[in-house]
Chains A and B, each alone.
Chain A
Amino acid sequence: MSIIKPTRRGVLRTGAIAGAGLAMPTIFTGSASAYMNEPTGSTVTLGFNVPQSGPYADEGADELRAYELAVEHLNGGGDGGMMNTFSSKELKGNGILGKKVEYVTGDTQTKADAARASAKSMIEKDGAIMITGGSSSGVAVAVQALCQEAGVIFMAGLTHSNDTTGKDKKANGFRHFFNSYMSGAALAPVLANAYGKDRKAYHLTADYNWGYTTEEAVRESTEAMGWETVNAVKTPLTQTDFSSYIAPVLQSDADVLVLNHYGGNMINSLTNAVQFGLRDKLVNGKNFEIIVPLYSRLMARGAGENVKGIFGSTNWHWSLQDEGSKAFVKSFGEKYGFPPSQAAHTTYCQTLLYADAAERAGTFNPCGIVEALEGFEFDGLGNGKTLYRAEDHQCFKDVLVVKGKENPTSEFDILEVVEVTPVAQVTYDANIAQMGGPDATLGDCNPGA
C-alpha cells in the first residue's frame, strides 16, 4: 500500500520533521499553535459524530448524508444547494478559508460515553477543528461539554431538550434546532384555535430529561391560555406497550392526551392510544384529541395511519416552498433519491453556518467563530429570518406546526404544515427558569491552547 493520503496532521508533521531533523523531541504545548488543532496544511478536518447504530440510527444516517452533501457543496461540487440562497455570500465553493474540507465520521451509538470517545478520537487523532452531529440531547450535552473542555467548536445536530442551550449551555456550543420551549409556545395558540380554551389535558411523559423539559414547556404554555392539566404520568423509556398507561386516561375526565414521547416510544404510545379508540370518544361534550409535541418524518412513518390529523411541531419540512428549502430538497433529492428529513436539514445548515462564520472571522480559532456566530442574523436556509442569539447560542426562527396528513400521497408526504408560528411568539428571555435560570452561564470561549 503506497497511497499517500495527505492529512492535516500529516502535512503539519512533515513540516515539523523537516525542521527538527531526526529524533528531535518536540513539545507541542500552548506555544506551538494559537489554538487547538490549528489547520496549517491545505485541508481542514471536520468531525461528523452521528448515531450509526442504536435507536436513532435512521436519523444518524440521514444526518451523515446531509454532511456529505454539505462538504461537497463547500468544496465546490454539486449545484451548491443552499449556499446560493444563503443571505451571507462569503462561501465561494473553494472550501473554508481556501482550505479543502475533509471529514472523519464516528458512531455515537446514542450513548454519551461512546459519543465522547469518538469525539475525543476525532480531536486527538484526526485533528478535527469542529465536531457536529448527534441525535439526542444526552449525547449533545455530553459532547458539547467535551468540546468546551478541549477547545473546539461544537455544532449540535438534532437535540430538542431545553438543557442544550439552557441549563447546560456552553460558549463553544451552538444549536440551530429548536427546543421544547419553542414547541410549547408554538403549539399552544394553534391548539386553542382548533380545540378551544377550556380543555383538560393528560400528559404521558417519557421518563428522562427531554421528556421532563417538553412536558414542562407544553404545560406552561397551554395552562397560560386556559387549559387545565389533569394528570402527568411518567413512562419508562424502554416501555413498548402503553396500554396500561392509556387505560387510566379513559377513566379520567381529560379530553386531550399529550404524548411527550419521541422515536420508538411515540410510535408505540400513539398506536396504542389510537387502538384504544381514544380519538372516537366524546368527553365533556368534546372530541377527544391527541397531541405529539415533537414530530419527525421518520417517526410519523413508523406510526403510519395513526398520525392522521394529529398536531405537533417540527423544525423544518421538505414541503416548504421558500427558495432555500427548494434548493436543498432539490440537491439532496438528486443525490440520494428522496427528500431530506429535519435532522438532515439542521445538520446541513450547521455545517454551512460554521463554514460561513470561519470565513467572516477569517480564522478557525474557536473564539473567532464564537464572535462571528453570536448575534448573527441570516436568511435563506429554509427557516426564514433567523438569529443566533448571543446570550445562549440558540437559533431563533419561525416554528412549524404540523398535522398528520389525511391523504398522504407517498411515504414521505405524511405531514402537512398547518401554521408557521412567527419567531416573536417563541422567543423567550435567556434567564427564565425553564432554561436553568440566571445560574446557567455560557462561560468563556475556549480555544484549547
Chain B
Amino acid sequence: MFGLRKSDSVLLLIVIVLTLFAPFILNPFPENSVMAQFNGGYPDLMQRLVIFGIFAIGFNILFGLTGYLSFGHAAFLGVGSYAGVWMIKLLTLNVIPAIIVSVIVAGAFSLLVGWISLRRSGIYFSILTLAFAQMSYSLAYSVLTPITGGETGLQPKVGDPRILDAALEEGVTPRANLFGMFMNDSYELVIGGWIFTFNVGYYIAAVCMVLAFYLSIRIFRSPFGLMLRAVKSNQQRLNYTGIESKPYTLAAFVISGMYAGLAGGLLVAMDTQAGAERMFWTASGEVVLMTILGGAGTLIGPVLGAGFIKYFENIVSKINANILETWFSFMPDGVSDLFVGLIYPFIGKGWHLTLGILFMLVVIFLPGGLVQGGQKLAGVFKNKKDGSDSASGSTSAAPAE
C-alpha cells in the first residue's frame, strides 16, 4: 500500500486507526466516575499529543537515523511558531498559509544552523545547536521584542492588518480557522456515562501527523535513509570510501527542522500565541526525552514517547491534595492521611518527579524505549524469545546515547 512493504503498511494503518479513534481511546472512564481525572480526551491535550508527536518524529529522523544529537531543536519549533503568528496577523486567519510559512521559515533557519553546526560532530555538534537555540531564546525574549513580543509573547489583535480577510465584525475576537471552521469547534458524543469530544483542530493536526508519519516511513526505507544509517554506524569509513556525508546529514537536519516548523505552525494554528519559552533549552531537552523514552531509531517510538510525556505533564500536574483526599476518603482517617501523605509528593507540582522515575525505569529496564516494551509483550504472546522483527520496523533497538 502506498509503496510500503506489508509490515510498514500495517504500522501506518495502526497509527491511522489510533489517531482516528483517539477521542474514544483517551476517554476510557465515565465522566462522573472518580477515574475521570485520568481522561485525556479533551481537545487541547489531544492536539498537543499529535503535534509533539510530529515534533518527535522529525527529531528522530535526525537523531534516530544519523545519530547526531541536536540539543536545540526547540529553536525551529519557536521560529516556526513566530512565523505562523505573523502570517495570521498579516495575511489571514486561515491557518493554511501560517502552517506552510512556518515550515519554510523553520527550514531556512535550520539550513543556516545546520550549515554551521554540522562542521562538527558528537558532543561539539550538540553544544553548537544548544548555543544556537539559547541564542534564539535570548534574542526573542529581549532584543527582538518588537518582532516577538518578548516576555508577553505574540498574539493576534483586533487591529491587525490581515490583508486577505474581510474586516471582522464589531466586537469579534480574531480566531484561527480553516475555511470557516474554528479550531476549537467540537462535537460531543454522549454514550451512556461517557462523553467523547471530536475537535476540528485535533483532526487537522492528526491528518498532518499521519502524513508526517508516512513521509518518515518513506525516508526510513529509502536509499537516502540507508545512507543516513551509514553515517550513524561509521561516518569515518563512509568518508574514506569517498562519499561526502555532509550533504546527507544537512538534508536530514533541514528535514527534521521542517518537521519542527510544522509542529510550531500547528501549535499556533490550535492556539494563536507564541512565546519565547517555547525555545528554552528545556523544551529542546524534552523532545530528546520523548524520542529516547519511546525508542530512538524506531518509527512509532517518538510518537509514543511524546504522548507519554505530554499526558503526564497535563494530567498528573492537575491532581491536587483535595482530589487525593476524595480518593482515599473511604479509608479510616489515619490510613487515608498516610496514603495521601505518601502519594502527595508525586502529584501536582511533583509531576516532574513522577516522570523522572518513570523515565529512569524505562531507560534501565527497556533501553530500547517503550517500543521495546511493546516488543517484549508481543514476544510473550507469540511465544517467541525476542520480537525484534515486529511491526515497529525498528532496525536496531539501540540504547539511548
Contact = CB atoms under 8 A, between A and B. Distances in A.
Interface of A: 1-7, 9-11, 13-14, 16-17, 20, 22-29, 52-53, 57, 103-107, 111-114, 116-118, 120-121, 124-125, 136-138, 141-142, 145-146, 148-150, 161, 163, 168, 207-210, 212, 234, 236-237, 439, 441, 443-444, 446
Contacts of B278: 113
B151 A208 contact: yes
B343 to A, nearest CB: 14
How many B residues touch the partner, as a band?
A: 35 or more
B277 A113 contact: yes
Contacts of A1: 33-35, 327
Nearest to B270: A120
Nearest to B277: A111
Given A146-B271, A443-B171, A23 B191 contact: yes
Contacts of B195: 9, 13
B152 A121 contact: no
A148 B32 contact: no
Given A111-B275, A117-B48, A142-B153, A13 B31 contact: yes
Given A17-B190, A26-B190, A145-B273, A121 B318 contact: yes
A116 B317 contact: no
B44 A5 contact: no
Given A25-B189, A52-B348, 19 more contacts: A3-B34, A4-B32, A5-B34, A6-B32, A13-B195, A20-B190, A22-B192, A105-B320, A113-B277, A116-B271, A117-B48, A117-B313, A118-B318, A120-B271, A136-B151, A138-B151, A138-B152, A149-B175, A443-B173
- Chain B CB within 10 Å, residue with most, of A1, A20, A209: A209
B153 A107 contact: no
Contacts of B33: 1, 4
A441 B168 CA distance: 15
B152 A161 contact: yes
Given A118-B318, A145-B155, A444-B171, A236 B142 contact: yes
B173 A149 contact: yes
B375 interface: no
Q: Sorted from nearest, which 6 A-B pairs have the closest CB atoms? A: A10-B32, A444-B171, A52-B349, A120-B44, A112-B275, A209-B151
Contact of A209 (B145, B171, B322, B349): B145
A116 B273 contact: yes
A1 to B, nearest CB: 5
A121 B42 contact: yes
B44 A138 contact: no
Contact of A141 (B141, B152, B191): B152
B150 interface: yes
Interface string B52-77: 00000000000000000000000000
14 contacts: A9-B32, A17-B190, A27-B188, A106-B317, A112-B153, A113-B275, A113-B278, A117-B314, A118-B314, A138-B151, A142-B155, A207-B143, A209-B151, A210-B151
B351 interface: yes
A27 B187 contact: yes
Interface string B164-193: 000000111101000000001111111111
B378 interface: no
Contacts of A4: 32-34
B239 interface: no
B317 A13 contact: no
Given A125-B39, A149-B173, A208-B142, A107 B349 contact: yes
B42 A9 contact: no
B354 interface: no
A137 B152 contact: yes
A236 B138 contact: yes
Contacts of A148: 173
B188 A28 contact: yes
A112 B277 contact: yes
B15 to A, nearest CB: 24
A17 B327 CA distance: 25
A113 B320 CA distance: 21
B23 interface: no
A161 B48 CA distance: 30
A22 B192 CA distance: 6
A214 B329 CA distance: 49
Contacts of A207: 141-143
Contacts of A7: 31-32, 36
A439 B157 CA distance: 11
B7 interface: no
Contact of B32 (A11, A22, A26, A208): A11
B130 to A, nearest CB: 14
B31 A104 contact: no
A76 B269 CA distance: 43
Contacts of B197: 124
Nearest to B35: A1
Contacts of A212: 145, 150
Nearest to A16: B190
B131 interface: no
Contact of B42 (A103, A116, A124, A234): A124
A170 B314 CA distance: 26
A3 B318 contact: no
A265 to B, nearest CB: 13
A150 B186 CA distance: 13
Contacts of A14: 32, 193
In this complex, the member of A26, A149, A210 whose beta carbon has the largest number of chain B beta carbons within 10 angstroms is A149
B275 A138 contact: yes
B240 interface: no
Interface string B133-148: 0000010011101000
A209 B348 contact: no
A120 B273 CA distance: 13
Nearest to A51: B349
A124 B277 CA distance: 24
Contact of B193 (A17, A103, A114, A439): A17
Contact of A22 (B152, B191, B273): B191
A257 B35 CA distance: 56
Contacts of A3: 34, 326-327, 329-330
Interface in B312-362: 313-314, 317-318, 320, 322, 326-327, 329-330, 348-349, 351-352
Contacts of A120: 43-44, 271
